[in-house]
Structure 1
Amino acid sequence: MKQYLYGIDFGTTNSALAIFDEDSREITHTIIIPSLIYFHQNAAEGYVVGDAAITAYLSDNMKGRFIKSVKQILSRSSFTETRIHNKRYNAADLVAIILKELKSRADQLTGQYCQKAVIGRPVFFDDDDVQKDTLAQTRLQKAVTLAGFTEVRFQFEPIGAAFAYEQSLVKKENVLVADLGGGTTDFTYLTLEPEKANSKDRKSDMMANGGIYIGGDTFDSAFMWEKGTPYFGKNTKYEATLGKVLAVPVSLFANICSWEQMNFFNGLRIKKDMEDYYFFSGNDRKFKNLITLIDNNLGYSVFQSIEQTKITLTEKNEATFRYHQLGIDIEENISLSEYEQIISRDTERIANYLETFLHKNNIEPNHIDSLFLTGGTSMIGSIQTLFRNKFPHVKLNSGDNFKSVAKGLAYSGYLFEN
């Protein structure tokens, strides 16, 4: 019987699984699905995962419970559980649902119930916070167990990306890997060479790693704050008492800029507050959009429009932020320079962290032979410019932005030998 190992990249936006045949030492298949869960409005219908979640969400007229960016809540101590159809789900439960879906699809391809896997994790789940990082790792470990894996090792995601890149090399290189995903930006500096691919001991090749809690979702949140929230009543005034006019609390709009908060932004108290603000604002039309957004679980579709705007701007100098749903009408042209200004604070934070990372680890830019960028966020123009300006002498390489990490994790079987 063949022996298989699964390399699993559980991501904020997408999750991937690479199947590694340990006999032939080859990757036979790679599966990728959106990291999405949809609980049907009718509890008896259960839930669906991945692309099917989007289809069901739309066919149910967005009346069920749609869960996105589950990875973001792993490090959040404030999140303990959510109740869906009178059943409690904690962070590990939600992550396990996605991992089980990946495993089930892979098992169908291999014809086996594989229990051996290398699971990717960011260098830091939430910046350099040991307590949050420990919480996230504990939850992820529990989710992996719930998904049915018993032989497990964890590997930093950028190291996984590096091992995927190593398969294409013809000579030894000192490589700086930047993995820019939906939730984090991670760096690893290491030595790669074709002769060492799949070797059992790579510890001496790992020279430095680090990460910062900024990714594609951070950029989307900044965009939502600047360009989205005005359409949902950010500047709404209401009459608190006779003759006393106040602004609606800005915290309401900060919450809709963060998907993991919007996911669970459905308490009775907050809904009552919003109805009161709406009434005392004189039924402000744009604030009504906020109520419609929350009541009809439209968050995902709004952020899909933001994502599409972002993708268009990786290829063109202008895009239209367009959204028309249940009376919410957004149609606004966005220039590339305008978008880059919106995300400039976060790109600058990445640039500053990179500078700190290089200095802290005594890495001279002229000692770097190659740059390898992976992750969907690496395609953004200002990110590419950041690296080109910092390392003008080095070629910028990239692989499959959504499968590289999973493939590299599958090549990390040496972890089981230690």
Structure 2
Amino acid sequence: MSPACGIDFGTSNSSAGFVQAGEPVLVKVEGDSTSIPSAIFYPAFGEGVCFGGRAIDSYVEGENGRLFRAIKSILGSSLINETTVAGGKRTKFTAILGSFLGHIKKTTEEQAGAPIEQVVLGRPVFFVDGDAEADRIAQDQLMQVARAEGFKHIEFQYEPIAAALDYEHGVKGEEIALIADIGGGTSDFSIVRVSAERRKLADRKQDILAYAGVHVGGTDLDYKLSLKQVMPHFGYQTRQRKRPELDLPNGYFHELALWHRIAFLYTQKVEAELKHLRAIAEEPERIERFLRVVHERAGHRVAGETEKAKILLSDKAGATIDLASIVEGLSIETSQALFEETIRAECAKIAACVEDCIKNAGLRADAIDAVFLTGGSTSTPAVERACLLHTPRAKIVRGNKFASVGMGLTIDSGLKFAQSRG
């Protein structure tokens, strides 16, 4: 019988595990790490596709090719049916998603020592906010990608519920826990009754008191910081020379600030349109910088330096967005205070989602015993404060930022597939 497997295919980072002798085991998905950046690099001529940190390094070190990050964000959008150039040929985005999922599957099989056909895949509470049909389509798309990679038995679990199963592993008494999973693409919450006895049960429906989610994650924080402080240096909000009451069209600047949209800038059509913008811009040198980024395929380097500064601001009052290797002399100073002001609306959405989740559970705020924080974006102090705003007496437990969901999905796979075999 194929081992049971759980995979957290995240927007920014991914993890996986399998059940061995009844116990969940996390996979070392990259070196000795149990998490891997959700990144793929296609060399220009198709040989030597690589994944994770190695993919990012290949791109940053200047190897000729294409980097894809935050590709999970494409699920549920019209982009999923489009193609792009990867490895010297036009490739469907479903194939790009599949290549990453296939890499995780192969790595898991190597460590499990057996083919894997059974998987529990994590999913956000909402792939798409406010659109149930688009959300269903997104899950179906992910299922089709998984089937194409050789998975035959596929189940789904909400990511915050999976994180709850991981948290419960260390619980001795009974608690009402709020699980906050703030990933690269979404913020997901569940309120779950947990205990040492309950974790033995396969059916936990009665213990899931509520769940909620909002489409705010780490890539949104990168995007807001980039628009506020980086994109103006590349022409965002630059006025038109002959019509100074008007800004230049802003669509391209938004694409450069979004991880999953950057690859769409690398076309001759876009370069031609940017040259037109340069001709009508009041400050053409800013558009010239943008042109250089597109011509040199350096968009992910701009996004990467912005992300690095965001991470530094988790525990520092100030940071530098260093773009001097891309544009000579361009370094942008930022601060934690400015960043927190920039993401105020996103944090307010997170806090409101927590409040709704507690209300949906039929609980008072002081009924929450513990808040379990997982996902890379919980490192941002303003985001953590938003998660805790409506839980005044809860203890705070910080889980594995990048692998708690993967561990919980693995635990769930053991329960689900043991039940199906029985």
Scaled to the shorter chain, the TM-score interval is: over 0.9
Aligned AA (1:230) = P
Q: Which residue of 1 aligns with 2:32?
A: none
Structure 2 partner of 1:415: 416
Q: Distance in 2 between matches of 1:234 and 1:384?
A: 30
Match of 1:155 among 157, 160, 164: 157
Q: 1:204-353 residue pairs with structure 2 within 5 A?
A: 204-239=206-241, 246-281=246-281, 284-353=284-353
Who is 2:23 aligned against? 25
Q: Which runs of 5+ in 2 are unaligned?
A: 30-34
TM-score normalised per structure 2: 0.92
Bigger Cα displacement from structure 2, 372-381 vs 62-71: 62-71
Residues 218, 376 of structure 2: 8 Å contact kept: yes
Whichever residue aligns with residue 331 of structure 1, its letter is S
Superposition RMSD in Å? 2.1
**Deviation, structure 1 residue 18:** 1.3
Q: Displacement of 1:219 after TM fit?
A: 0.7
Preserved CA contact (<8 Å) 1:77 1:135:
no
The amino acid that maps onto 1:406 is G
**Superposed CA offset, 1:205-251 (max 9, x none):** 111111110001111100010001111012434446xx888532122
Q: Aligned ranges for residues 6-405 of structure 1 at < 5 Å?
A: 6-21=5-20, 23-27=21-25, 29-31=27-29, 32-43=35-46, 45-59=47-61, 61=62, 63-84=64-85, 85=87, 87-239=89-241, 246-281=246-281, 284-405=284-405
Percentage identity across aligned positions?
Answer: 28
- On the 8 A contact 1:68/1:263 being kept in 2, the answer is no
Q: Cα deviations across residues 314-357 of structure 1 (Å, max 9, x unaligned)?
A: 11222222222243543222221111001111111111222233
**Range with bigger deviation, 406-415 or 358-367:** 358-367
Distance in 1 between residues matched to 2:161 and 2:241, nearest whole Å: 56
Does the 8 Å CA contact 2:368/2:393 hold for their aligned counterparts?
Answer: no
Tell me if structure 1 keeps the 8 A contact 2:11–2:38: yes
SS in 1 for 2:316: coil
Q: Would the aligned equivalents of 1:30 and 1:407 in 2 still touch at CA under 8 Å? A: no
TM superposition outliers: structure 1 runs of 4+ over 4 Å: 243-246
Distance 1:207 1:193 in 2: 14
Mean CA deviation greater in 111-120 or 266-275: 266-275
Tell me, yes or no, if the aligned pair for 2:188 and 2:212 is still in contact at 8 Å.
Answer: yes
Scaled by the length of structure 1, the TM-score of the pair is 0.93
Whether the 8 Å contact between 1:81 and 1:88 is mirrored in structure 2 is no
Corresponding residue pairs, total: 412
> Secondary structure of the residue that 2:324 maps to in structure 1?
strand
Shift of residue 153 of structure 1?
Answer: 1.1
Cα distance, 1:264 vs structure 2? 1.6
Alpha carbons 2:7, 2:406 under 8 Å: kept = yes
**Do the aligned partners of residues 26 and 355 (structure 1) sit closer, same or farther apart at CA in structure 2, a change above 3 Å counting?**
closer
**2:212, 2:353 within 8 Å by CA — same for their partners in 1?**
no
Instruction: Name the CA distance, whole Å, in 1 between partners of 2:288 and 2:204.
Output: 57
Q: Distance in 1 between matches of 2:223 and 2:379?
A: 18
Q: Per the alignment, in what secondary structure is the counterpart of residue 314 of structure 1?
A: coil
Could you tell me whether the CA contact under 8 Å between 1:169 and 1:194 is conserved in 2? yes
8 A contact 2:80–2:94 mirrored in 1: no
